[in-house]
Amino acid sequence: MSDKQQTLEPLLISPSEAAQLLGLSRSFFYENLSTGRIGIRPVSFGKKKLYSVAELRAYVLAGCPAMGADR
């Protein structure tokens, strides 16, 4: 595969994309973020909030611990 044909995987994704990656609806994702049930933190760029794909993967591999739970 040539360099021009390679597709880069994003490092940061939107909340909607993070919800989709986790297999959740956007509203369920936001609701569980606000209650601390989903224990991941966004990266802020001004007003924009993005989520790390690597952190999302680590979160799932750790068993989806709530915020403040030991990982």
pLDDT tens digits, 21-71 = 999 999 999 999 999 999 899 999 899 999 999 999 999 999 999 887 654
Q: Is 70 inside a domain boundary?
A: no
Q: Is 50 inside a domain boundary?
A: yes
pTM metric for this prediction: 0.80
Q: Is 48 inside a domain boundary?
A: yes
Q: Which domain holds residue 47?
A: 12-61
Place of tokens 């915020």: 67
Q: Is 4 inside a domain boundary?
A: no
- Evaluate whether 38 touches 29 at the Cβ level (below 8 Å): yes
CA distance 55 to 39: 10
Indicate the pLDDT class of residue 20, thresholds 50, 70 and 90.
very high
Task: Starting at the earlier edge strand, list the strands of the sheet with 48-52.
Answer: 12-13, 48-52, 43-45
Count how many domains the chain has: 1
